[in-house]
Amino acid sequence: MFPNLLHPRGYMGALALFALLAVPFALQSPFAFHLAVLVCVFGALATAWNIVGGFAGQLSLGHAVFYGIGSYAATLLVINFGITPWLGMFAGAVISAMAAIVIAYPTLRLRGPFFALATIAFLEVCRLLTVHEESWTGGSAGLNVPLNIGLQWMVFREKWAYLLIAFGFLLVTLWAAWLIRRSRFGFYLIAVREREDAARAVGVNAVKVKIGAAVISAVLTSLIGSFHAMYLTFIDPSAAFSLELSVQIAMFALIGGLGSVAGPLAGTVLVLPIAELARGWLSSFGSGTHGFVYGVVLVLVVLFIPRGLVGHLGGFVLRFIDRLPGARTPPPAPAKSIAPADALPLGTPLLVAEHLKKRFGGLVATDDVSLTLHAGEILGVIGPNGAGKTTVFNQLSGFIRPNEGIVKIRLADGTWAEPRTPDAFAKDGVGRTFQIAQPFAGLSVLENIMLGAFMHTGVRVEAESIARDVAQMTDLTSLLDTEARSLTVGGMKRLEVARALATRPRALLLDEVMAGLNPADIARAINMVRRIRDSGVAVLMIEHMMQATMALSDRIIVINAGRMLKEGKPSDVVNDPEVIQAYLGKGYLDAQAA
């Protein structure tokens, strides 16, 4: 639950954080205290934004709406009801959470710039509503916070008191971000950010996790907004619901390193003091200087360190810290088994497709296809290019809904389920790979496999243990600490299999796992598939490598023009005249006869 302060990473991080307190107390300057308060506030805001913008990859440019809700909620409760902001901030947080759900549910289904524009629109609507409801919000003139001095009202004469509270909010926000990043929820957010389809294939409900991230981020932003209103002692719509504020906190996260825990704070510490000092030194001649500083730093970062400070320098820092005494931790013990605990007896019908039909406009891609995968077998699906194999495959894993027919899978208790979505298929015991490998490039090989393991456990140590055992079966043990983007094609294909296998499926669907591999990798892949079958997992594979398909498959199904052409043992199928004609054309048979 909490970072290990006895580990070098823990105590070095704590020392860096408490330097934010030590410097202003050493200088004993009101401006130093003010600057430290701003760093804590904007560092916390950027960290909260990073949960949505960095971890989940959703560019929210209207995030100040939650800051404004928190500011106005706490201030209005103080003015109208005399309620302490310590309670008022939680009222604002509840309102912000509800607003986040209302905003996120329709908008998080959007992608790219459309989501960013939608968040800006919500921000502008809230600003205009605040301006026009003048009777209780003060309109464009704003509101003054009552100057009731004391801890109860969060108003003090000394700057250092504000700094202690701001630092507390920063610690809470960093702890929340650290906890999320190390949890199953955090892994799911990163998976959705990088490859949403691949995330759904390991049981991730993309919409739910993105809404969860939006709610957590909104609550933290609202709490910080309430405190900042008390610190400023004045709020108005143009500042509370400010597009500039949203862009500013997003920029701090981008400069520091999106998706990292320390990145947003690092970006704030780098840029904010320079901008504030420049504005203070230049006084009236420096109007807008802080914006110029932000722009210059942002351009330099994008040009020279596009992954941010932490993305480029974090590895060097961590390698240095990990050389300190006490940094090494033993790996977890291997899991006992990666096979499904509820494996069915051999030969039991496991995955059944009945009369599948799929039309894309006037094209009939699947025309009355029925098949059955039995427990403990390898079923090969072959056919010429454009035959409809991939369409059938996607229907068997929930990525395409058939127009007619059903797909059902037998559960451990013997009942049949008819899942409708990819994540539901995964949870019911169907794992799959993709024809074009889809690794989560920003994660290590170990973390990629852990994403699959998290479907059955929320404990990080247990997920890591399962991942290590899966890596051994898929020949990835020596590559566990390697970034997925650095793997060869063969390594990426095996990683896809490992990630699906870590979900402990009863049926594993392999989509051309040998395509593009060299002979050595093909031999390794054949042995891997056999080990998987021997572990108790049924395999359905689409493959164009005919020698491998014939060597591995217990049965083969041939699909041509969207229809079932032949089903039987490999030796029967390969010599069938209709199959030869489908692959090589009628002219080949005529030539043989001649």
What confidence tens digit (pLDDT) does each residue in 131-186 have? Answer: 998 888 888 888 999 888 999 999 998 999 999 999 999 999 999 999 999 899 99
Q: Are the C-beta atoms of residues 510 and 541 closer than 8 Å to each other?
A: yes
What is the rounded distance in angstroms from the CA atom of residue 80 to the CA atom of residue 467? 56
The model carries a pTM of: 0.86
- The more confidently predicted of residues 109 and 185 is 185
- The more confidently predicted of residues 529 and 293 is 529
Domain 349-593 has CATH 3.40.50.300: yes
- Rounded to the nearest 5 degrees, what angle is found at the Cα of 163, between the Cα atoms of 159 and 167? 175
* 211-224 pLDDT per residue, tens: 999 999 999 999 99
- Residue indicated by tokens 């039987």: 568
* 289-332 pLDDT per residue, tens: 666 777 787 788 878 888 888 877 777 777 777 677 665 665 55
Q: How confident is the model at residue 512 (pLDDT cuts 50, 70, 90)?
A: confident
pLDDT at position 594: 44
pLDDT of 367 above 60 = yes
pLDDT at position 147: 86
Q: Which amino acid is at 173?
A: T
The arithmetic mean of pLDDT across residues 571-579, rounded, is 80
Q: How many CB atoms lie within 10 A of CB 477?
A: 14
pLDDT at position 326: 62
pLDDT at position 333: 55
The arithmetic mean of pLDDT across residues 377-384, rounded, is 89
What SS3 state is found at 157? coil
* End-to-end C-alpha distance for the chain, whole angstroms: 77
pLDDT at position 285: 57
pLDDT of 339 above 70 = no
The arithmetic mean of pLDDT across residues 341-358, rounded, is 82
Q: Which two tokens stand for residue 8?
A: 């070098």
Q: How many CB atoms lie within 10 A of CB 513?
A: 27
The arithmetic mean of pLDDT across residues 60-66, rounded, is 92
Nearest to 370 by CA among 559, 577, 144, 108: 559
What is the rounded distance in angstroms from the CA atom of residue 425 to the CA atom of residue 119? 32
Q: How confident is the model at residue 108 (pLDDT cuts 50, 70, 90)?
A: confident
Q: Which residues pair with 144 in a beta bridge?
A: 234
How is the chain split into domains, by residue range? Answer: 10-242, 349-593
The arithmetic mean of pLDDT across residues 240-267, rounded, is 91
pLDDT of 592 above 80 = no
pLDDT at position 588: 42
pLDDT of 342 above 70 = no
Phi-psi region of 150 (alpha: psi -120 to 50; beta: other; left: phi over 0): left
pLDDT of 338 above 60 = no
Q: How confident is the model at residue 283 (pLDDT cuts 50, 70, 90)?
A: low
Q: Give the pairing of strands 430-432 and 507-511.
A: parallel
Q: How confident is the model at residue 545 (pLDDT cuts 50, 70, 90)?
A: confident
pLDDT at position 44: 96
Percent of the chain with pLDDT strictly greater than 90: 47
Distances (CA, A) of 572 to 41, 554, 586: 72, 12, 19
Q: How many CB atoms lie within 10 A of CB 544?
A: 14
Tell me how far apart the 2 most distant CA atoms of the chain are, in Å: 104
* Upper half-sphere CA count for residue 105 (Cβ side, 13 Å): 5
What is the rounded distance in angstroms from the CA atom of residue 591 to the CA atom of residue 149? 99
pLDDT at position 591: 46
Mean pLDDT of the residues in the chain = 86
What SS3 state is found at 483? strand
Q: How confident is the model at residue 581 (pLDDT cuts 50, 70, 90)?
A: confident
- The more confidently predicted of residues 472 and 296 is 472
pLDDT of 569 above 50 = yes
Q: Which two tokens stand for residue 308?
A: 């941010």
Nearest to 162 by CA among 233, 94, 244: 233
Q: Of the segments 389-393, 440-444, 454-458, 537-541, which one has the largest average pLDDT value?
A: 537-541
